[in-house]
Amino acid sequence: MEKDEKIFFLMGDTGFNLVEPIFEKFPDRAINVGVAEQDLIGIAAGLSNMGFKPVCYGISNFLVHRCFEQIRNDLCIHNYPVVLVGTSTGFDNGALWATHYVVDDIGALKVLPNIKIYSPSSVESINNIFEEVMKSPGPSYIRITKSNLTEGKSIDSPNRFILKNEQSDILVISHGKMVKNSMEAQKLIPKFSIYAMDRIKPIDEQELDNLFKKYKKIIVIEDNFRSGLYNTIAQFSAENRLHSVDLYSISPVESFGTRIGDSTYLEDKHGLSSEKISSFIDKLSSQVKMTSGTNI
Amino acid sequence: MKTPNKNIRRTILQIIHNSGAAHIGSALSMVEILNAIFKSVDIDKIKNSQNDRDRIILSKGHATSGLYATMFHHGLLGEQELSTYFKNDSLLAGHASHHVPHVEHSTGGLGHGLPVALGMAIGARTKKIDSHIFVIVGDGELQEGSNWEAIMLAGTLKVGNLIIFVDMNRLSQVGEVEKSCSLEPLKLRFESFGFDALDVDGHDEDEIYKAIQKSKTSVKPVAILCHTIKGKGISFMENNNLWHYRCPQGNDYDKAVLELRE
């Protein structure tokens, strides 16, 4: 905000003990609109019309689902350069239950033309993505997990290999917090490579083509229903007749569970813990016939 | 000027008749509101897309035939383009589209225009640009909760360059607004949210124009409650919700043409 006077920070009364410095330093370009997400997005659209680049901060559920029509009509139809920063993704808020955890945001938003979707898996990825969206002429959604993985070096692209195992024909494609879970699974069963696809939309078709040529088994691991990245990659695979690659999904079962739990508990329940991931891949590498997903 | 503006109404009638479009009653009720607004702004700044232009947002986007007709009479839309309204391959949709040059914001889903207008007003104030943001909402549209989010904040922040026009024709799609979900006492409600609120005859262009000039000096946001008649200017359409959707054809069209003759 210091370097770019176009940035205008908006939030809907979330971010206690986090956002205060922004208001202190940039009182003219920061507004808490109150608990009013529809208004939040509308105001962002109006500020864009005036030449600002608004950043809307909120808990992902409220930022995506409460004001979906505002995102569609006021941002995407106009292709306004508004950045939606959603926190508490996946099962981060699992104990607060289904109104507050979010595993259906990617699928909900990706149907909208013009919007870009990101799910950073590390601090460095967040930095890289922010540089990218600040140059973007249209709207973006960045879902940021509470997990704070650090890679220790800057990265060139949100889409990159995290780990390569040249002896294996199995590849995990993941994003957001699930990259970390996949890395931990790799320590248990070092039989696969990991590719972080933190830019979910637009999809990187060239890179996917390369990956489908190189690997025989691809597992998409995400803390979003199958309507997320898996669905996009499955479509890519079908449209390009890439049937020689077996494609799998490890993702939450498409339902609103009745039992709560913290993220560790719910990720394990939905097959997303490092133990469950490693077990799945271990069976896969042993040529056991597998189907996607995990029954709970 | 208490005589209804027949010029703009003739244009609305014609483009709706030619294309088989709907929502004529909603357009006819706000002709004087729109014309007074367009008379209050610097049209050249809009033509040149200057960032210090005043901005006009038609939130009740279904009445866009009225917006396009008024823009045509103010030189912001050509006759050829206007004649394509609601026809295949036209940019001039049945709801306001920003792809039409000089249309500030696309609308159609109700309850969107006012929050966007508030964002523009805040943006202008932040940039210290002396421009006003005019937004026209329907009275039925005010039943959308998103409006009240914006009204609360506009009052809190004292966004004095925001002027809301409520087209109070008292009819929404199905029936009377007051019978479904009452807005009253609307003036008091706006005032209690930190607005200056004025009641005007929504078909008296001079009165609306004067209200706009007065509103421009207000330090608070202003709501101008324009008391109107849905279908105004064509007797058999007035206060008749049949004309929310019906397109005037045949004898109806001929009668309407006669009534709108000078």
**pLDDT number for residue A293:** 53
Q: Mind listing the pLDDT tens digit for each residue in A92-148?
A: 999 999 999 999 999 999 999 999 999 999 999 999 999 999 999 999 999 999 877
- Is residue A232 a part of any domain in this protein? yes
The reply to whether A165 and A188 lie within a common domain is yes
Domain final position from A116, A144, A172: A144
- Is residue A65 a part of any domain in this protein? yes
Q: Which H/E stretch holds residue B114?
A: helix B113-126
* Interchain pair A28, B119: CB under 8 A: no
- State both tokens at B19: 């294309």
Whether pLDDT at A199 is above 80:
yes
- State both tokens at A237: 């695979």
Tally of structural domains, chain A:
2
Domain with A73 in it: 7-144
The reply to whether A132 and A15 lie within a common domain is yes
- In angstroms, the CA B137 to CA A142 distance is 33
* Interchain pair A31, B122: CB under 8 A: yes
ipTM, 2 decimals?
0.96
Whether pLDDT at A290 is above 90:
no
- State both tokens at B161: 């360059």
- In angstroms, the CA A166 to CA B142 distance is 62
Contact B105, B113 (CB under 8 A): yes
- In angstroms, the CA A33 to CA A41 distance is 10
Whether pLDDT at A150 is above 90:
no
- Does A39 touch chain B if contact means CB atoms closer than 8 Å? yes
Q: What share of chain A is helix, strand, coil (3-state, %, to 5)?
A: 35, 20, 45
- In angstroms, the CA B207 to CA B226 distance is 10
The reply to whether A167 and A114 lie within a common domain is no
Domain final position from A144, A172, A205: A144
The reply to whether A163 and A264 lie within a common domain is yes
**pLDDT number for residue A295:** 39
- Is residue A152 a part of any domain in this protein? no
The dihedral sign for the CA sequence B183, B184, B187, B193: negative
- Does B151 touch chain A if contact means CB atoms closer than 8 Å? no
- Is residue A293 a part of any domain in this protein? no
Domain CATH number, residue A208: 3.40.50.920
Contact B164, B200 (CB under 8 A): no
- Does A51 touch chain B if contact means CB atoms closer than 8 Å? yes
Contacts of B106 in chain A (CB under 8 A): 73, 77-78
The reply to whether A66 and A130 lie within a common domain is yes
**pLDDT number for residue B40:** 98
The reply to whether A26 and A101 lie within a common domain is yes
Burial of A228 (0-12, 13-18, 19+ CB in 10 A): buried
Q: What percent of chain A has pLDDT over 70?
A: 97
Q: How many CB atoms lie within 10 A of CB A46?
A: 33
- Does A15 touch chain B if contact means CB atoms closer than 8 Å? no
Q: What percent of chain A has pLDDT over 90?
A: 89
The dihedral sign for the CA sequence A153, A159, A162, A167: negative
Contact A179, A196 (CB under 8 A): yes
Mean pLDDT across the stretch A166-171?
96
Nearest CA in chain A to B117: A46
Domain final position from A144, A175, A193: A144
The reply to whether A87 and A166 lie within a common domain is no
Considering only the beta carbons, identify the residue of B51, B117, B153 that sits closest to A34. Answer: B153
* Interchain pair A8, B149: CB under 8 A: no
* Interchain pair A36, B112: CB under 8 A: no
Q: How far is CA A138 from CA A45, A117, A129, B123, in A?
A: 11, 11, 14, 18
Whether pLDDT at A289 is above 80:
no
- Is residue A42 a part of any domain in this protein? yes
Selected residues 119-138 of chain B with any CB under 8 Å from a CB in chain A:
119-124, 126-127, 129, 133
Q: Mind listing the pLDDT tens digit for each residue in A40-89?
A: 999 999 999 999 999 999 999 999 999 999 999 999 999 999 999 999 99
**pLDDT number for residue A292:** 62
- In angstroms, the CA A177 to CA A123 distance is 11
Mean pLDDT across the stretch A163-176?
96
Considering only the beta carbons, identify the residue of A8, A46, A70 that sits closest to B120. Answer: A46
The reply to whether A215 and A171 lie within a common domain is yes
pLDDT below 50 — which residues of chain B?
none
Chain B closest-CA separation from residue A70 CA (Å):
7
- State both tokens at A138: 């249209």
The reply to whether A64 and A137 lie within a common domain is yes
Domain CATH number, residue A58: 3.40.50.970
Nearest CA in chain A to B145: A38
The reply to whether A228 and A170 lie within a common domain is yes
- Is residue A1 a part of any domain in this protein? no
C-alpha dihedral (B152, A28, A59, B193), degrees to nearest 10: 0
- Is residue A296 a part of any domain in this protein? no
The reply to whether A137 and A182 lie within a common domain is no
Domains of chain B, CATH where assigned: 6-259 (3.40.50.970)
**pLDDT number for residue A294:** 47
The reply to whether A252 and A165 lie within a common domain is yes
- Is residue A179 a part of any domain in this protein? yes
Mean pLDDT across the stretch A216-241?
97
